[in-house]
Structures are given as structure tokens and as C-alpha cells.
Amino acid sequence: MSEQQDSQKPMSPYQAIGGEAAIRRLVEAFYPLVQAHPLLGPLFPVNIEPVMEKQIMFLTQFFGGPSLYSDQYGHPMMRARHLPFEITPQRAEAWLGCMKLAMEQTGLEPELQSFMLERLQGPAHHFVNSNP
Ligand code: HEM
């Protein structure tokens, strides 16, 4: 871990995961799975690089690291940012499934996997905006 640990403060999930390098590895494993998923792939642009960079910034702050996303893009308003896309409960589950697989592939500790997935479940279901 590259970040210095202040012994006065409890470690953030971001630090426990392994900081910047670990978030980047996770996101780089996640999007190829998303792109290959029949329910999710069609929603995303072919040039996935900019989406990956935004997700790295967002997950960094979501898990208690520096506020990279808000510093650059303002208030996350993530539900609003997802409104242009038809997000069904099936797509929310598929997104979480790809994230779980990416966590396994990158060798994240099982306890951290469960913790992160639990934290992501609320937002994923909150972004559902279509229930056909
Ligand atoms: C529920 C299932 C989800 C689907 C189907 C979905 C799909 C999408 C799509 C299609 C985009 C736009 C890509 C583009 O720029 O063209 C996007 C952007 C994004 N998503 Fe999701 N997403 C989901 C859940 C989540 C969750 C749970 C998070 C994080 C908690 C998240 C974080 C982001 C971020 C940070 C962006 C970039 C926003 C921006 O443009 O600044 N997404 N998502």
C-alpha cells in the first residue's frame, strides 16, 4: 500500500482494498465483463476508456478515498446521471454480478468483496428506473 497510514484514524475501505492501484485493477477487470454481458454491453460506448476513468474516480471517493469524482464533475447525482439509460432490476443484478466476478478475478479478500458488494447493492437498485 502506497498511502501513509495515520495511526489516529481508522483505515478507510479505500485503503483496506489497496488504494489507487487496486481500484484501477478492479475497474479494468469490470468493464470487459460489462461489455461482454448481453444485458449491459449494448448500453455502453465502444470506447470504454472515459467511462473507466470516471468509475475509478467515483469508486475512489465512494469507498472513502480522495474526492476525485466530485472535484472534477461536481455532485455525483448518480441516479440522475443514469436516467438516460433503461436500468431494469435485471440489469442492476447483472452489474453487481460483473462487479463480483471482477473482485474475484483481481483476488480481493473475500471479506472486502462482501463489504464492497453490500455497499454497492443499495445504489445499484436505487438506479433502477424501468421495470418492464
Ligand atoms: C444498476 C446497474 C447499472 C447500469 C446498467 C449502469 C450503466 C451505466 C451507463 C450506461 C453509464 C454511461 C456510460 C457512458 O458514459 O456512456 C454509466 C455511467 C456511470 N456509472 Fe453506472 N450503471 C449501473 C450501476 C452503477 C453503480 C452501482 C455505480 C456506482 C455506485 C455506477 C457508477 C457509474 C459512474 C461513476 C458512471 C459515470 C458517470 C458520468 O458520466 O460521470 N453505476 N452507468
pLDDT in tens, 59-113: 999 999 999 999 999 999 999 999 999 999 999 999 999 999 999 999 999 999 9
Write the residue with the smallest CA distance to atom 27 of ligand 1: 124
- pTM of the predicted protein model: 0.95
Give yes or no for residue 82 CB within 6 A of ligand 1: yes
Write the residue with the smallest CA distance to atom 42 of ligand 1: 124
4 CA distance to ligand 1 middle (Å): 31
Q: Please report, rounded to a whole number, the percentage of residues in the chain having pLDDT higher than 70.
A: 95
54 CA distance to ligand 1 middle (Å): 9
Half-sphere exposure of 114 (CA within 13 A, CB side): 2
Give yes or no for residue 27 CB within 6 A of ligand 1: no
- Cell numbers found for residue 123: 445504489
